[in-house]
Chains A and B, each alone.
Chain A
Amino acid sequence: MRSLLGFASGDLEVKGSAYTLGYAAVLGAACALLLTGVASFTAPYRRANADADRKRNILTVLEVPYPKKVSSEELVTIFETNVREEKSPELEIYRYVPSGDSVGKETVAVHFEGPGLWGPIRGFLALDTDMRTIRGITFYEQEETPGLGGEIAADWFLKSFVGKEIVDASGQAGIIIKGGGDQNALNEVDTISGATMTCDKVEELLNNVIEKIVQEKN
């Protein structure tokens, strides 16, 4: 019954159908064209923003001073004056060499990334020039549960890494994130209660990069 009706009305609407299709095609093409045009227009800005964002993360973890309200261009300039990128086969390393009257100690930042519980975790690990002592750490991308795993980005957790070392007392490379461990052990960091899985993931991806760092050093 339904197909009969469709068949009958189809004849009456032949002209309408052509118009409908044509209309849809033109509208579709117009929208796609407009959007592609705008996308190419904004592409350089978007890339610059992403770039400045990344550079800002590196500057933060290296403790390079920069003004709070700063434009993307200024950020890039500060970055280029103070930070040197070092290429190595396995790692992305950024070295901060304080020049002239800029304050700070020479620090090295290493990029790390790996799978978290809900999405990729990416960040930078800042080390002293001895490539052993941790000066700081940041996570610039993570999708963990807010209030639990998401606390890895919280100040208190980040600070707990400062002064720790990436090798233990016997020289074995690797850090341990666990609860109720030895407070004095230099390569142990307290875990986040309720976020065991996220912390496990973080420990794993950090140890991956630490392994490579130690290999490079030797």
Chain B
Amino acid sequence: MADKQPACMTCGSQGLCGGKGLLTLKEGAWKNNPLAIQMLGICSALAVTNRLENSLVMGAALIFVCVGSNLFVSLLRNVTPHRIRMIVEVAIIATFVILFDQFLKAFYWDMSKQLGPYVGLIITNCIIMGRAEAFALQNPPVLSIVDGVANGLGYAIVLAVIGFFRELLGSGEVMGYPILSSEWYEANQLMILAPGAFFTMGVVIALFNYLKGPEPEENK
């Protein structure tokens, strides 16, 4: 994925981001949305979106790990030997994931049980690895942080949308509060199970494609 070069006007080229902050943010969160456009990180998106609360926590986890990993990979980019760079990236990502997991277990125990192994699986989340390789290795730390935030946010938003609909249609609740009364709405349990996940994700990505409009030739 080549990142476009033209600078934005937010803080000019003297600012911390060298003028590319807003552009990076927009690219990561919308135009190059990791889930809907790059099709990365699908596994966890499908698994944890059975409830909105889980989706939000997972989104937060990804932002945390992506920012942390981007920051450190970028800081170390000039001293890391080329041959072991992938292992170094994995080590840094794994460290941040474990940090998040430990704090979850300590302070948000119920959520840790809900998310189960999927927190650990953030390590293999292609988004984080992808950003480390494609962006953090070639860009300064502050910009890398912005990119981490952007991609994490893009992921979190799509996750929230999917989680919202799956929980609403699958159990009549949102964040645990009953919205669709069980008196007239028979919850479609299939939405909470695997097929519902695939289906909602397909529809959301199609929606994204529709909203973005037809792609200019070079991007497809």
- A residues near B (Cβ < 8 Å) are 16, 19-20, 23-24, 27-28, 31, 34-35, 38-39, 42, 45-46, 49-50, 52-53, 146-147
Contacts and interface: CB of A to CB of B under 8 A. Distances in A.
B90 to A, nearest CB: 11
Contact of B107 (A28, A45, A147): A45
A138 to B, nearest CB: 15
Given A35-B98, A38-B99, A42-B102, A24 B107 contact: no
A35 B99 CA distance: 7
Give me the 3 closest cross-chain CB pairs, A-B, nearest first: A45-B106, A42-B106, A49-B109
Contacts of A23: 79-81, 84, 88
B189 interface: yes
A53 B109 contact: yes
Contacts of B106: 42, 45-46, 49
Given A20-B81, A23-B79, A49-B109, A38 B88 contact: no
A146 B103 contact: no
17 contacts: A16-B81, A19-B81, A20-B81, A24-B84, A24-B87, A24-B88, A27-B91, A31-B92, A34-B95, A34-B99, A35-B95, A38-B98, A39-B102, A42-B105, A49-B106, A52-B109, A147-B193
Contact of A20 (B84, B103, B193): B84
A49 B79 CA distance: 41
B220 interface: no
Interface residues of B, number: 21
A31 B95 contact: yes
Contact of B105 (A31, A46, A147): A46
A146 B116 CA distance: 15
B83 interface: yes
A128 B189 CA distance: 36
A147 B189 contact: yes
Interface string B93-115: 01100110011011101000000
Nearest to A42: B106
Given A24-B84, A46-B105, A50-B109, 11 more contacts: A23-B84, A24-B88, A31-B92, A31-B95, A35-B95, A35-B99, A38-B98, A38-B99, A45-B107, A49-B109, A53-B109
Contacts of B193: 146-147
Contacts of A52: 109
Interface in B142-199: 189, 193
A42 B87 CA distance: 27
A27 B109 CA distance: 30
B86 to A, nearest CB: 12
A28 B94 CA distance: 11
A212 B80 CA distance: 62
Contacts of B98: 35, 38
Nearest to B192: A146
B154 to A, nearest CB: 28
Nearest to A72: B109
Contact of B88 (A19, A27, A42): A27
Interface string B53-97: 000000000000000000000000001110110011001101100
B91 A31 contact: yes
Contacts of B105: 42, 45-46, 49
Contacts of B94: 31
A50 B112 CA distance: 11
A19 B94 CA distance: 23
Contacts of B80: 23
Contacts of A42: 102-103, 105-106
A23 B83 CA distance: 12
A194 B144 CA distance: 52
Contacts of B109: 46, 49-50, 52-53
Contacts of B79: 23
